[in-house]
């Protein structure tokens, strides 16, 4: 008897964030779903319901499944709310208890849905692979204080509870293997395919920065570097993003007397608008001390813009680039080193061209033509290991 084909389920909610085409999470997931469907797979994308109407919505060749209503993810102080993951975990459990799949790809975070799915799918003998953007480990204690030990323990339990894992960076893969040595971990970056905007004026003295306004993003380091750059040259900074640290950062700019050189663009509603800003910059700087993959930095490389990136053990971006070849790295938090890197870009002959060539090589490995076969191979290995992925 021929077995009836069941869908592949992409449970891709990061922190229960709505999977919208314009979101940084939604774009690569939507791209993967579209391409898998085009290659003959039946695909369900399971997440929070951010749309009006029925809980199941047809999107071209795949289905969006709303497991629960959407709700705000963050508190006013920028920390994540506990309620959305609980609501999402309950909705996910209800859906996967009723529906049959050949394979489920579930985001490890938020951990509660993943933690519930591991025994549920094992009991139903449905193969499961977990996708990881980052592993926090001991950082949970810094983030939550005493409660962080509980979160760290849950993270470890999720990693050890599933056999198959897909990590989006070499750093994350290494940390996964450290806490789950028996797991099978494959490293496949999230696709980062960008169409370069047309009609954009390139300003070699404009610096681009993009991200949420949170303390660990370290934008004040860039403001300090900007204060060190020559006043007689037209250096300017374009900041894309919003968040709880923004008022403090603006105050820092005023204290450093660089407020007249900073353009605060806030949140931009589409990725295309973000790309237009970055494409017009002579350099894009990633100052963050924590990045699971560093999407804005990789997008800068895909746009052919020179990337200046903080080097830190918790920054995964450095696993994709080589200092002086595809990006310029500086020690995280070092204003002077960052200022010197920006001056090198402006004054060292041929440096931009060399970095552009190196960036193109990195970007080629992040295109769908490289990513999709690797994802399919991972899925085939998980599904082929037997019912339940064991």
Residue 1 covered by a domain: no
CB 151 within 8 A of CB 163: no
Q: Is residue 376 part of a domain?
A: yes
| Contact status, residue 57 vs residue 20, Cβ threshold 8 Å | no
Share of the chain above pLDDT 90, in %: 64
Q: What range does the domain containing 88 cover?
A: 8-191+367-389
Domains: count for the chain: 2
CATH number at residue 45: 3.40.50.2000
pLDDT of 252-307, one tens digit each?
999 999 999 999 999 998 888 999 999 999 999 999 999 987 788 999 999 999 99
Asked if residue 372 is part of any domain, the answer here is yes
Q: Strand pairing of 262-266 and 307-311?
A: unpaired
- Tell me how crowded residue 221 is: count the other CB atoms within 10 A of its CB: 22
What is the Cα–Cα distance from 256 to 224, expressed in whole angstroms?
Answer: 7
Sheet holding 262-266, edge to edge: 262-266, 236-240, 203-210, 281-286, 307-311, 328-331
Residues 21 and 166 in one domain: yes
* Any domain includes 109: yes
Residues 216 and 356 in one domain: yes
In tens, the pLDDT along 345-367 reads: 999 999 999 999 999 999 999 99
Enter the pTM of the model.
0.85
Examine the domain organization and report whether 356 and 375 are in the same domain: no
CA dihedral angle for residue 377, residue 382, residue 383, residue 388, rounded to 10 degrees: -170
Q: Does the pLDDT of residue 21 top 70, yes or no?
A: no
Pairing of strands 56-59, 62-69: antiparallel
Tell me: do 347 and 226 sit in the same domain.
yes
280 with 183, same domain?
no
3 state SS of 337: helix
Euclidean distance between CA atoms 283 and 304, whole angstroms: 10
Tell me, yes or no, whether 196 lies in a domain: no
SS3 64: strand
């Amino acid at each position: 008897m021929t077995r009836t084909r069941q869908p592949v389920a992409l449970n891709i909610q990061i922190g229960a964030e709505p999977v919208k085409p314009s979101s940084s999470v939604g774009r690569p997931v939507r791209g993967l779903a579209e391409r898998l469907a085009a290659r003959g797979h039946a695909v369900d994308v399971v997440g929070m319901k951010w749309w009006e109407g029925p809980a199941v919505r047809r999107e071209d060749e795949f289905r969006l499944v709303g497991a629960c209503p959407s709700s705000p993810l963050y508190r006013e102080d920028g920390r994540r709310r506990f309620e959305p993951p609980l609501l999402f975990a309950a909705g996910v459990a209800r859906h996967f208890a009723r529906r049959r799949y050949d394979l489920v790809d579930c985001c490890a975070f938020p951990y509660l849905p993943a933690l519930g799915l591991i025994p549920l799918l094992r009991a139903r003998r449905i193969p499961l692979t977990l996708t990881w953007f980052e592993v926090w480990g001991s950082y949970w204690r810094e983030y939550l204080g005493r409660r962080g030990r509980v979160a760290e323990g849950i993270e470890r339990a999720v990693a050890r509870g599933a056999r198959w894992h897909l990590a989006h960076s070499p750093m994350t893969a290494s940390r996964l293997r450290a806490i789950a040595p028996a797991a099978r971990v494959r490293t496949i970056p999230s696709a980062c395919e960008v169409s370069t905007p047309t009609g954009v004026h390139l300003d070699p003295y404009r610096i681009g920065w993009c991200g949420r306004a949170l303390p660990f993003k370290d934008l004040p380091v860039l403001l300090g570097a900007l204060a060190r750059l020559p006043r007689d040259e037209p250096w300017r900074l374009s900041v894309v993003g919003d968040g709880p640290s923004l008022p403090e950062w603006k105050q820092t700019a005023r204290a450093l007397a660089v407020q007249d050189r900073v353009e605060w663009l806030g949140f931009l509603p589409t990725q295309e608008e973000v790309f237009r800003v970055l494409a017009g910059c002579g350099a894009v700087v990633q100052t963050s001390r924590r990045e699971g993959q560093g999407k804005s930095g990789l997008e800068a490389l895909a746009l052919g813009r020179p990337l200046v990136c903080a080097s830190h053990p918790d920054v995964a971006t450095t696993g994709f680039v080589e200092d002086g070849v595809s990006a310029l790295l500086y020690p995280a938090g070092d204003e002077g080193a960052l200022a010197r890197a920006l001056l090198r870009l402006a004054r060292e002959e041929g440096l931009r061209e060399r970095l552009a060539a190196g960036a193109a090589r990195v970007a080629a490995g992040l295109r769908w033509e490289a990513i999709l076969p690797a994802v399919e191979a991972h899925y085939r290995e998980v599904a082929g290991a037997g019912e339940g992925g064991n």
